């Protein structure tokens, strides 16, 4: 016993994280104990390592306005923004969460979901504490609805994250689990470095970025998956404590670029499952984004503050998918229903199955040079050479 080497806390956490990644599980959302030292003081002792925020405005009286997302938080000196990850220190806004992930994991790209990007690829995923939404159905609430002082955070620089992605043989880096809007600077630097190292990049977000930071981020991103959580203002306000309009604006802005886009709609019973609302959503997608944007209807399971609701009936998802078909959308999927026929991709011209999937796993791929192998129809997306 006396001759054993004692690991530091950082060494212990990192060794545990790497062991988890090797098993494909990673470290995700562990709780802090009350005995630990004051984490705010620890962060501020290392403040020189925490970067100044990329998008904010100086205001009188050492106040600042964060301009990354639709909230445009006015943050007084010494205070935190709505997401709790940025702090006004001396009249400047800093990211406290930079280099402090609480979730690092290798996943199949289909889990994102990104069905029209490198089928069968593996992605190295990064997530942190907190979100800029307060969704009552949050699937990752254990850390996405907790502050960074309530979870265990790792020390990992952008170089560390990209290095781990390459070491694990991943094809891309992804930013997911919580909304990466709240670790914007960390995400941006990882993505920029990953691109230089030959990796693809994607992120999964609620889509509430303001235009300027959105366009800057898209410069270093190959793809984005947007949660279009519903299609009424009431749903966004009551269930997500947010707004619909910024998301629609972001979707339109993404389509102005060459970044690949996919859309997710989690169908929550009694909350956003009215077929007329789903029809209006599908029609809006067709008219403003085009027929070829993949749309995923995802099955809800009881979670967080909506645990008394039942899972979404599969029949309801199938009805929503039929509505999307009727409105002319070409690539409509059903998720969280392993083995469902709509896990797979069909050519809209010849009707043949061109990507066969079982849940997150690709069984067969019949796309060659971005075209249907059977009829030659061009399939939108990012494909293997």
- pLDDT for 49 equals 61
Closest by alpha carbon to 186, among 61, 68, 74?
A: 68
In a domain, 274, yes or no: yes
- Tens-digit pLDDT profile for residues 233-288: 999 999 999 999 999 999 999 999 999 999 999 999 999 999 999 999 999 999 99
Model confidence at 43: pLDDT above 80: no
CATH number at residue 325: 3.20.20.70
Q: How many domains does the chain have?
A: 2
In a domain, 368, yes or no: no
- Tens-digit pLDDT profile for residues 100-144: 999 999 999 999 999 999 999 999 999 999 999 999 999 999 999
Same domain for 119 and 82, yes or no, is no
- pLDDT for 45 equals 41
Same domain for 162 and 85, yes or no, is no
Model confidence at 1: pLDDT above 70: no
**What does the pLDDT average to over 341-352?**
98
Same domain for 224 and 85, yes or no, is no
Same domain for 85 and 211, yes or no, is no
Same domain for 111 and 82, yes or no, is no
Which position has the higher pLDDT, 46 or 249? 249
Q: Model confidence at 385, in pLDDT bands (50, 70, 90)? A: confident
Model confidence at 215: pLDDT above 90: yes
Same domain for 262 and 164, yes or no, is yes
Same domain for 331 and 224, yes or no, is yes
**What does the pLDDT average to over 77-93?**
97
- Cα radius of gyration (the chain): 21
- pLDDT for 26 equals 53
Same domain for 54 and 140, yes or no, is no
Which position has the higher pLDDT, 135 or 38? 135
Tokens of 111: 């889990």
Same domain for 132 and 81, yes or no, is no
Boundary of a domain, candidates 31, 61, 95: 95
In a domain, 21, yes or no: no
Enclosing domain of residue 300: 103-349
Model confidence at 42: pLDDT above 50: no
Average pLDDT, the chain: 90
Model confidence at 190: pLDDT above 60: yes
In a domain, 7, yes or no: no
Model confidence at 36: pLDDT above 70: no
Q: How far apart are the C-alpha atoms of 271 and 305, rounded to whole Å?
A: 13
Model confidence, pTM: 0.89
Same domain for 89 and 134, yes or no, is no
Which position has the higher pLDDT, 374 or 30? 374
In a domain, 313, yes or no: yes
Q: What is the 3-state secondary structure (H, E, C) of the chain?
A: CCCCCCCCHHHHHHHHHHHHHHCCCCEECCECCCCCCCHHHHHHHCHHHCCECCCEEECHHHCEEECCECCCCEECCCCECCCCCEEEECCEEEECCCCCCCEEEEEEHHHCCCCCECCCCEEEEEECCCCCCCCCCCCCHHHHCCCCCCECCCCCCHHHHHHHHHHCCCCEEEECCCCHHHHHHHHHHHHHHHHHCCCEEEEEECCCECHHHHHHHHCCCCEEEEECCCCCHHHHHHHHCCCCHHHHHHHHHHCCCCCEEEEEEEECCCCCCCHHHHHHHHHHHHHHCCCCCCEEEEECCCCCCCCCCCCCCHHHHHHHHHHHHHCCCCCEEEECCCCCHHHCEECCCCCCEEEEEECCEEEEECEECCEECCCCCECCCECCC
Same domain for 297 and 158, yes or no, is yes
In a domain, 144, yes or no: yes
Picking from 41-45, 46-50, 117-121, 138-142, which range would have the lowest pLDDT averaged per residue? 41-45
Same domain for 62 and 210, yes or no, is no
Q: What percent of the chain has pLDDT over 70?
A: 87
Closest by alpha carbon to 16, among 27, 30, 6, 8?
A: 27
In a domain, 34, yes or no: no
């Amino acid at each position: 016993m006396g001759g054993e080497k004692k690991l530091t806390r950082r060494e212990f956490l990192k060794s545990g994280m790497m062991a988890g990644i090797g098993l494909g599980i990673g470290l995700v959302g562990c709780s802090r104990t009350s005995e630990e030292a004051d984490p705010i003081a620890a962060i501020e002792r290392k403040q020189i390592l925490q970067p100044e925020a990329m998008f904010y405005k100086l205001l009188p009286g050492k106040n600042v306005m964060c301009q990354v997302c639709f909230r445009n938080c006015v943050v007084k000196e010494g205070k935190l923004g709505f997401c709790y990850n940025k702090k006004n220190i001396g009249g400047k806004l800093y990211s406290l969460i930079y280099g402090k992930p609480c979730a690092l994991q290798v996943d199949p790209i289909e889990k994102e979901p990104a069905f029209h990007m490198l089928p069968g690829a593996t992605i190295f995923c990064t997530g942190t504490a907190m979100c800029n939404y307060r969704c009552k159905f949050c699937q990752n609430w254990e850390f996405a609805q907790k502050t960074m002082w309530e979870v265990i955070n790792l020390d990992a620089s952008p170089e560390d994250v990209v290095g781990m992605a390459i070491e694990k043989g991943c094809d891309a880096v992804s930013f997911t689990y919580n909304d990466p809007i709240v670790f914007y600077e960390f995400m941006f630097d990882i993505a920029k470095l990953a691109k230089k190292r030959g990796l693809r990049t994607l992120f999964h977000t609620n889509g509430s970025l303001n235009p300027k930071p959105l366009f800057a981020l898209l410069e270093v991103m190959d793809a984005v998956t947007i949660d279009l959580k519903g299609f009424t203002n009431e749903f966004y306000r009551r269930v997500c404590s947010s707004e619909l309009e910024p998301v629609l604006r972001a979707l339109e802005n993404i389509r102005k670029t060459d970044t690949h886009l996919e859309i997710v709609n989690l169908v929550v019973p009694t909350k956003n499952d009215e077929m007329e609302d789903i029809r209006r959503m599908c029609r809006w997608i067709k008219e403003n984004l085009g027929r070829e944007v993949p749309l995923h209807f995802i099955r809800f399971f009881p979670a967080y503050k909506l645990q008394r609701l039942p899972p979404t009936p599969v029949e309801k998802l199938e009805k929503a998918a039929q509505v999307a078909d009727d409105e002319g959308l070409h690539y409509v999927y059903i998720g969280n229903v392993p083995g469902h026929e709509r896990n797979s991709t069909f050519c809209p011209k010849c009707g043949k199955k061109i990507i066969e999937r079982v849940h997150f796993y690709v069984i067969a791929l019949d796309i060659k040079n971005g075209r249907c192998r059977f009829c030659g129809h061009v399939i939108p997306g990012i494909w293997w050479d």
